[in-house]
Amino acid sequence: MDCENGTDIVEFVLLGLSTQPEHQPLFFLIFLLMYLAGLLGNTMMIVLITLDSRLQTPMYFLLRSLSVVDMGFISVTVPQMLAHLISSSKTIPFYSCMAQFFFFYVFGVTDLLMVSVMALDRYVAICNPLHYVAVMNQKVCGNLVAGCWIVSTLHSMLHSGLLLRLTSPQNQTGFSGFILLGLSVRPEYRGILFPIFLSMYLLTLLGNVLIILLICTDACLLHAPMYFFLSHLSLVDASMASAIAPKILETLGESGSACISYWRCLTQMYFFIAFGNIDSFLLVSRAYDHYVAICHPLHYATIMSHKRCLVLVAGSWGLPNVYCFIHTLLTDQLSFCSSREISNFFCDTYPLLHLSCSDTHLVQMLIYTFGMMLVITPFFCILLSYIHITATVLKVPSAAGKRKAFLTCGTVVTLFYGSIIGVYFQHSSSTSVGKGRVVTIVYTVVTPMLNPFIYSLRNSEIKAATKRLLTTVTSV
């Protein structure tokens, strides 16, 4: 196949508001004043609401969030417009156009959703004033705002990805996809491996879904920060297993189809990296929660407020998705040579880079800087938090507490970060490919399956919630 890109599109030309040069100074002045007024007005609104304690109500909380969105929305388009009005160049690079398109839709859709939320707030305040405080509480408002951002970001990522596929067909011309070598190329092993992985996958789904169900339906667990993080961790574990296991089962099944299309491969890589990093950040949030609970128990309720928990979870979901979006865009620009065999059971970064016949330095630089930072930084944060926890527990004459602290710390480091570091820091060794596959199974299949048992089913509160749920179900 042709390894070169099949398109010459590197930039676009923006015609602007007017092609007549004599009109451009007037337009520049008008839009500059409008932009500065927009920034000043929204900034004043944010500062006033933040500083004035009398404005700490749901309506003004939503208004402050809307002001942030409005500032982002106008900052996506107006600066580029002003630059073109005073410059002879009307072009915009391809990826700058894609980035502008993405953030335009993020802020635009968020703005629409925020207006809907504010309309809901006004409806409750006017039509149900007696229930206003209970309905529009801080938690509901925080969830509504977070939902607006998450929905708009996911919509924009999907929209931008589909548009990018239309505008960058170069890598797919004559290229049908990849071949996953899987765990074993011997057909006689498939009959043994298929039921094993099917059982592990079903157990993973069952365990994590049960944890989510218990936390969402049990009032005793719903408002506790520890279980709030645990519910998100279970959701991520179930999603991560679902990104990998179905293709493994398809490869090990009767059809034995080891082929995977280009776009399915990129999609699998995106979600694998995203859920892996989200898992890492959520583990940091849980470690921080444990640190505050054990080392600062008197200030726990104040420090681990619902607002702070929302910020930690939103950051855990947001940062990895932004990184993975950029990572996938750069990978999509690579060209691939005649070899299509991936020496793994799913699409991962390094196998794709090894198959590429184009320059991969930009992707590798992204991995070794931001990628490693997203792995190593949470690892050291968890390690530091458990050092403090261990030091605190050792001062308490409780052997059970000591064993629990060491067990939790050892499980987190060994199962998750130990396996990741073992694969990605030694991946260059060609002799460790088989061992790398086995270690990879630990954090892609085994860890999501074991997490419900490690973090939850040994917990007395989870056991009590399970009994209450079973009692409710059997009594119906």
pLDDT at residue 88 above 70? Answer: no
Q: Compute the distance between CA of residue 349 and CA of residue 299 in angstroms, rounded to an integer.
A: 43
Tokens of 439: 């270690």
Phi, psi of 364 (to 5 degrees): -65, -40
**CB distance 176 to 235 below 8 Å:** no
Least confident of 290-299, 357-366, 399-408: 399-408
**Greater model confidence, 262 or 371:** 262
pLDDT of residue 2: 37
Over the stretch 386-422, which tens digit does the pLDDT of each residue have? 788 778 777 766 545 544 545 555 555 566 666 666 5
Cα of first residue to Cα of last residue in the chain, in angstroms, is 63
55-59, 182-186, 306-310, 439-443: the lowest-pLDDT one: 182-186
The pLDDT value given to residue 463: 75
Domains of the chain, with CATH numbers?
A: 11-167 (1.20.1070.10), 175-475 (1.20.1070.10)
Q: Which of 267-271, 336-340, 348-352, 403-407 has the lowest mean pLDDT?
A: 403-407
| C-alpha atoms less than 13 angstroms from C-alpha of 378 in its C-beta half-sphere | 29
Closest CA to 145 of 66, 75, 50: 66
pLDDT band at 202 (very low <50, low <70, confident <90, very high): very high
Range 205-228 burial, b when 16+ CB lie within 10 A, else e: bebbebbbebbeebeebeebbbbb
Q: What is the mean pLDDT of residues 178-184?
A: 69
Question: Which residue has better confidence, 221 or 384?
Answer: 384
The reported pLDDT for the residue numbered 258 is 73
SS3 111: helix
Asked whether the predicted pLDDT for residue 227 surpasses 60, the reply is: yes
**Spatial distance between the Cα atoms of 200 and 249, rounded to a whole number of angstroms:** 11
Check residue 174 and report its DSSP letter: T
Tens digits of residue pLDDT in 7-34: 444 556 655 555 566 767 787 888 888 8
Tell me how far apart the alpha carbons of residues 57 and 48 are, in angstroms, rounded to a whole number: 13
The answer on pLDDT for 340 being more than 80 is no
Residue 410: both structure tokens together: 């050892």
Nearest to 392, CA basis, from 310, 315, 476, 296:
296
pTM above 0.85, yes or no: no
